[in-house]
Structure 1
Amino acid sequence: MENSNTSTAKSATVMTPEELFAHWQGHRDLTRRTIEAFPEKEFFTYSIGGMRTFAEMVMELLAIASPGIKEIVTGKTEEFKEHVDHKNSKKVILELWDKTTGELNEYFPKIKEEDFHKAIKSFGQYEGTVQSSIFYFIDNEIHHRGQGFVYLRSLNIEPPFFWERDK
């Protein structure tokens, strides 16, 4: 009897890079709608239990997404800029979100399929692969969006349905 761990079956591609990117963009669309759901003031001031405001969490997401993908493509590490001059304006944050989406649209397709398992050091310090780094970017966004959902519910605001991702 053949050991199932040494099977000679072909490996299957579960997801293409294009499908992964569409999945991520669906999450980004949902996070954008979560930002939109916040009242202007609470977006920048509201927190629970000592957590950061949702605006601060979103700035972290902005500091990771585009710079992380650009680093994967170019090999150049950018300064981690978690704080931006947003002028306490959701409009400014949403403009930055949309700018980041455009940069992702430009850079993500430049990642070579054969590089997804290549070892890298994201932001000059986090060791993993291209693929694990991208999954971290997505997971981190989902985590913070979940915190935003809790904030919205505590403000008696219905968050967007988590399963409604347009991409």
Structure 2
Amino acid sequence: MIMSKKDYFEMMEGNRRLTLRAIEAFPEDKFFVYTPDEKLRPFSEMIKEIVNIESGYMHGVALDKWEYKDVFEGANKKEEFLQISQEVRDQTRKLFEEMNEERLNVVMQDPFFGPEMSHFARLQYALENEIHHRGQGFTYLRLLGIEPPEFYVR
């Protein structure tokens, strides 16, 4: 069975709700600085990547305006990260609704990362990236002695 556009978006929404709960679980003083190893980034930096990719891809796919920018510029509080993440997702909801399957099947070189792929594959990459970094955030929480949000609650 092939997933519909609506079903795919519901999967994206469920994953985002879980990611937001992971952000909420972080203590303010750890969200921006904690890493278990000097080679790793704080969870706040991973959230920037997740949401900046979402914003760049959604505007690119929907409006053909390809710009990768930091939507968190100047934000330095966890609450600001939650708010900005929600604002970007609100934009995503509107843009995704307007996209048709023909647009999602357009294949072109990725303006941010290079390889040629369909717009739908781009959005799949963004979701996989979110899942990957959220998993890192869950590990960070456990290392801090904090129980991460229930994975099955979306």
TM range (shorter): over 0.9
Among candidates 10, 14, 17, match of residue 22 of structure 1: 10
- Structure 2: which 5+ residue stretches go unaligned? none
Are residue 141 (structure 1) and residue 130 (structure 2) matched? yes
TM-score, with length taken from structure 2? 0.92
In the TM superposition, residue 86 of structure 1 has moved relative to its aligned partner by 1.2
User: Is 1:94 paired with 2:69?
Assistant: no
SS in 2 for 1:45: coil
Alpha-carbon shift at residue 78 of structure 1 (Å): 1.1
1:157 to 146, 150, 153: 146
How far the C-alpha of 1:115 sits from its partner, in A, is: 2.6
The structure whose Rg is larger is 1
SS in 1 for 2:117: strand
Structure 1: how far apart are the matches of 2:96 and 2:124?
13
Q: Secondary structure at the match of 2:79?
A: helix
CA-CA distance at 1:164 after TM superposition: 1.3
Gaps spanning 5+ residues in structure 1: where? 1-12
SS of the residue aligned with 1:128? strand
Structure 1 residue ranges, 4+ long, deviating more than 6 angstroms after superposition: none
Structure 1 contact 120–129 (Cα < 8 Å) conserved? yes
Amino acid at match of 2:42: T
Structure 1 residue 83: deviation in Å? Answer: 5.7
- Root mean square deviation, CA, Å: 1.5
Shift of residue 51 of structure 1? 0.7
How far 1:82 moved relative to its partner? 7.1
Whether 2:37 is the aligned partner of 1:34: answer: no
* TM-score w.r.t. length of structure 1: 0.85
- Look up the SS of the partner of 2:69 in the other structure: coil
How many residues are aligned here? 152
